[in-house]
Structure 1
Amino acid sequence: MEQEKRKMILSAMMFFPAGEQISSWRHPKAEAEGLLNFDYYKRIVQTAERGKFDLFFYADELYVWDDFESSVKYANSIRPEPFTLLSALSVVTNHIGLGATISTTYNEPYHIARKLATLDHLSGGRTAWNIVTSRTDEEAQNFGKEKHLLHERRYERAKEFIDVTEGLWDSWEDDALLFDKESGHFANNNKLHYLQHKGPEFSVRGPLNVARPPQGYPVLIQAGASEAGKELAAATAEVVFAPKGTLEEGMHLYQDIKGRMARYGRSDQHLKILPGIMPVIGRTKEEAEEKLAAIDNLIPWQLGLDLLSHEIGEDLSVYPLDEPLPFLPDIESANKSKSKLLAVRKLMEKENVTLRQLCKRFNSRGIAGTPEQIADQLEERFVNKAADGFNIAFPYLPGALDDFVDLVVPELQRRGLFKTEYSGKTLRENLGLERPRNRFTTTHVNGEK
């Protein structure tokens, strides 16, 4: 009976504005010229809403990747600023959630709390925040630093950052604003609370000058799969964007993260795990595989090699292409994405691949199949508790999203795995997440100091 009640959560992911692959802009059906055109994003998000997606997720970075000549020459480095974009999209949508990547390393809590609270009000409670710590020295150098903060400190800062923003969102109790014209009382001053936070990273007096968001807090998303990332997710996140991996790896990660939540007094029902998947759809399996091969071939060889070098942190062009690398990535001392490095290391250890093979595998992220076969794979992971839903990426936009909405969504609905209508007004309601209580109201009710 429990399985019959569960419905998949679907997030439509935009990593690069033209699609998931770094060279998606080259696809014949990609509309690369629209990357700074609002109508382009409007069409994409309205299509996702037509397909009953729960969330449109816009990934963001704070730098231009220019480590290599190929990275500027061949890669898409242009992307609009997320708050501006999502605010505009909130006006042309009614149900779909709107989420974006926002760094806790290169922002201040008051700014982000205020912007997200405003967006949640303007969208009627449809905002989500993908909490990241950033990962490159290039970003650090855009914010007055030479080097990126060390991995552990980034996560310590992130945890404090989240605590401060939540405290600021609780500044006003839900019924604090009176708007009583006769008495002249705009607000009940007894229901305004000062945070007075002083910690290792931040000192914030408060209160926020935006009323408490409709959702209480925007939905909190986390994407790290390192130990520090999993602990942060268990403590604070409500959605986790997880790596795809095998079915067994997905089941293990699902149980691992949810199994940590009790230590923080949280139910595992209050966290939804969404692995990232990029489906490539064809009328037959063979046609889909041909499409995937063509998509993979969009990446110029030098760009693909340099992208792998960027992730590993060493120029790999000095090594023979048809031999295995003479070293394994050092996960412990790495100051970038540990989850990506771990995936590379596992592949090297498991299959002893050559550098050429490693590069091709690293840059190929799609699953190919007919609509029924794609639905089979999603169903298998969902039923076996490797996922509560999926963060769907698209090899090119907007056409690949159209295909998924028109071909795969109806198949999932036919199987009873995905909703046919939105069930709530806010993103929290649609995801089955509770609205958090105001910490100050809770303290008052419980008589705690």
Structure 2
Amino acid sequence: MTTGPTPPRKQIHLAAHFPGVNNTTVWADPRSGSQIDFDSFVHLARTAERGLFDFFFLAEGLRLREHKGRVHDLDVVGRPESITVLNALAAVTDRLGLAATVNATFNEPWELARRLASLDLLSGGRAAWNVVTSSDAFTGENFRRGGFLDRADRYTRAAEFVAAARALWDAAGAGQRSFAWSGDHFAIAGESTPPRSPQGRPVVIQAGDSDEGREFAASAADVIFTRHGTLEAGRAFYRDVKRRLPRHGRREEDLKLMPGVTVVLGDTAADAQERAAEIRRQQISPQNAIHALELVWGRDLSAYDPDGPLPDVDPDPDSALVQGRVRHADPFEAAARWRALSEEKGLSIRQTVIETTSRQSFIGTPSAVAAAMAEFVERDAADGFILVPHLTPGGLDGFVDTVVPLLQERGVFRTRYTGTTLREHLGLTGTGVERSAA
């Protein structure tokens, strides 16, 4: 009996998220370093490049968050602007993609397209833009027009923003000096951006799980940054987003799904589980548990015991108790879900927050983590992962040293970079200028 050649195994894509200012990072750990020193960015980026990752990913902070009218503790030192940091990192890395989160609500197409095209050109075709939106007037107070945008208009503006930026990049790539765009949100006429980079135009990343966000990703994104707690939830999301692509004239391989995950390694499964539990306890302190609860309930809950039961009062949907952080779209639904979980498992406030706010994590020995990641990708629950370490800047070191070699042995991860641009790393066909803008 003659058998055909064994089909190649589906390849895993990996990226690194610099944790910065959030409740993922364990600041009390003695190994935790600065989140603003350039050396921290360099260490994490070079570790990701040593691990042959596709890209390095920075979040955005447009305003210091507030809690009960005071600056949120985690924001006390602020956050550097992402494109500025990535331009500097372009000089100390060679192949690693450089992804900046930039808000499409509070920026303008020509100016942002020019900044991203400059990063793309200077890095030799390694730039990416993570498109985010906001209807938050609190954040918008930093901007001339006051920042208010109806929630329903966020993605229509973002879609037009991306289309205008792509048209501008394509005009520059075609050697056209002049540029014009007219739509519902923008009317632009001027000169094009810097010359075309080797990858044609920056990769577009989108983060969002609403129906509008999924449709926007299917129409306009090259990568979607998402989060799902189980293999089956990941597979359902994967199927839903991929099935939307044909109506936008796109193929499945045109969009990579990369959930954000944490990884906790141990010498044994029990050791890894123990470490993971301790990390979650450090991330969700008693104070942070009450803060997280107030983000859902929109009420001052400081009188409640973190080790006691959840509040029996309803959320306040119109609360301004927390500013600059995204509340649940339906706080009543979230509160009901938290209560049901708490009652089912007998959980306190802190225990409930720990269980409901954790990302999908891979916990175990390096070989177990490598096997689990390969299964997720093989079974179409993801195309890869964006790793969010709990330590800055050394949180990727163990993964790169132990898990990456095992993925390579399995034949599911590259042993060297075969291209120079981010599009080549991601396996996105062409240069990005052939497909019409969404």
Moved more, 69-78 or 115-124: 69-78
Question: Is 1:362 aligned to 2:346, yes or no?
Answer: no
Answer whether contact 1:104 1:133 (CA < 8 A) is retained: yes
Superposed CA RMSD in Å reads: 3.0
Q: 1:256 aligns with which of 223, 234, 240?
A: 240
Question: Is 1:194 aligned to 2:183, yes or no?
Answer: no
Q: 1:16 aligns with which of 16, 20, 39?
A: 20
**Residues in 2 aligned to 1:113 and 1:40: alpha-carbon distance in whole angstroms:** 27
**3-state SS of 1:143 partner:** coil
**Residues in 1 aligned to 2:242 and 2:340: alpha-carbon distance in whole angstroms:** 27
Question: Is 1:107 aligned to 2:103, yes or no?
Answer: no
**3-state SS of 2:27 partner:** helix
Cα 1:393–1:312 change in 2 (3 A) is: farther
Answer whether contact 2:125 2:199 (CA < 8 A) is retained: yes
**Residues in 2 aligned to 1:390 and 1:298: alpha-carbon distance in whole angstroms:** 24
**Residue matched to 1:304:** 289
Question: Is 1:213 aligned to 2:197, yes or no?
Answer: yes
**Residue matched to 1:286:** 270
How much does 1:438 deviate?
A: 5.8
1:134-173 to structure 2, matched below 5 A, reads 134=134, 136-144=136-144, 148-173=148-173
Question: Is 1:436 aligned to 2:432, yes or no?
Answer: yes
Q: 1:408 aligns with which of 372, 383, 403?
A: 403
Q: Deviations over 1:339-366 (max 9, x none)?
A: 8979956953863556443322234334
Moved more, 312-321 or 213-222: 312-321
Cα 1:350–1:97 change in 2 (3 A) is: farther
Moved more, 419-428 or 213-222: 213-222
Answer whether contact 1:275 1:391 (CA < 8 A) is retained: yes
Aligned residues: 418
**Residues in 2 aligned to 1:70 and 1:359: alpha-carbon distance in whole angstroms:** 22
How much does 1:121 deviate?
A: 0.4
Can you give the 5+ residue segments of structure 2 that lack an aligned partner in the other structure? Answer: 318-324
**Residues in 2 aligned to 1:169 and 1:268: alpha-carbon distance in whole angstroms:** 24
Question: Is 1:7 aligned to 2:11, yes or no?
Answer: yes
TM-score by length of 1: 0.84
**Residues in 2 aligned to 1:343 and 1:431: alpha-carbon distance in whole angstroms:** 37
**3-state SS of 2:419 partner:** coil
Q: Deviations over 1:164-197 (max 9, x none)?
A: 10111122344x3xxxxxxxxxxxxxx44532x2
TM-score by length of 2: 0.86
Q: Deviations over 1:60-87 (max 9, x none)?
A: 1211112237863455653211111000
**Residue matched to 1:445:** none
1:22-37 to structure 2, matched below 5 A, reads 22-32=24-34, 35-37=35-37
How much does 1:288 deviate?
A: 1.8
**Residue matched to 2:321:** none
**Residues in 2 aligned to 1:318 and 1:424: alpha-carbon distance in whole angstroms:** 57
**Residue matched to 2:420:** 425
Answer whether contact 1:125 1:426 (CA < 8 A) is retained: yes
**Residues in 1 aligned to 2:52 and 2:114: alpha-carbon distance in whole angstroms:** 29
One-letter code aligned to 2:94? N
